[in-house]
Amino acid sequence: MQWWEVVVGIVGGVLLVYVALLFLLWRYARRNPETVALRDALRLLPDLLRLVHGLAKDRTLPAGVRLGLLLLLLYLASPIDIVPDFIPVLGYADDVVVVGLVLRSVIRAAGSEPLGRHWPGSDAGLQIIRKLAGLPPVLAGEEPEGG
């Protein structure tokens, strides 16, 4: 087997995985139209980054959770994504999905209280983040559940 055949096989495999991930992301968006709209999530990006940074520095959270949050920050800062950011809509959609999955993991491990404690933005923004994380909305005057 020639070296270029190996390279073509690797590139072909990566492209196949890439297309499969795009398809799965598209299918998820079609089946779950009630999830957070990309436009809403992108408006919250500065507050979301401050939230993830605050959670990552919170010594009351388990070390594994904080490590996951640090890895999330590295992923978001990295120019290498599942779907490159220059692709309209889908380019940032993968980032929203990854953030949602990490927040769900954090809440499963630590409860929803740290989310409310570290959220730097508006109440409306927190409602969107709670939805992204798979939590029910908190009504006015109601205390969020502990997790």
Compute the distance between CA of residue 29 and CA of residue 123 in angstroms, rounded to an integer. 25
Tell me: do 60 and 4 sit in the same domain.
no
- Higher per-residue confidence, 27 vs 118: 118
For residue 9, the number of C-alpha atoms closer than 13 Å in the C-beta half-sphere is 6
Tell me: do 124 and 62 sit in the same domain.
yes
Average pLDDT over residues 97-122: 84
Tell me: do 63 and 10 sit in the same domain.
no
pLDDT in tens, 69-92: 998 888 888 877 777 777 766 677
Tell me: do 29 and 71 sit in the same domain.
no
pLDDT in tens, 47-73: 888 888 899 999 999 999 999 899 888
Tell me: do 145 and 88 sit in the same domain.
yes
pLDDT for residue 59: 92
Q: Does the structure show a pLDDT above 80 at 109? A: yes
Structure tokens at 2: 């020639």
pLDDT for residue 147: 46
Tell me: do 147 and 113 sit in the same domain.
yes
Q: Are 134 and 102 in contact (CB under 8 A)?
A: no
Tally of domains within the chain: 2
Long-range CB contacts for residues 40-45, cutoff 8 Å, separation at least 24: 40/128, 41/92, 41/96, 41/99, 41/128, 41/132, 42/92, 42/96, 44/121, 44/125, 44/128, 44/129
Q: Does the structure show a pLDDT above 60 at 131? A: yes
For residue 63, the enclosing domain spans 35-147
Long-range CB contacts for residues 29-34, cutoff 8 Å, separation at least 24: 29/93
- The full DSSP string for 52-111 is HHHHHH-TTS-HHHHHHHHHHHHHHHSS--SS-TTSTTHHHHHHHHHHHHHHHHHHHHH-
**pTM recorded for the entire structure:** 0.62
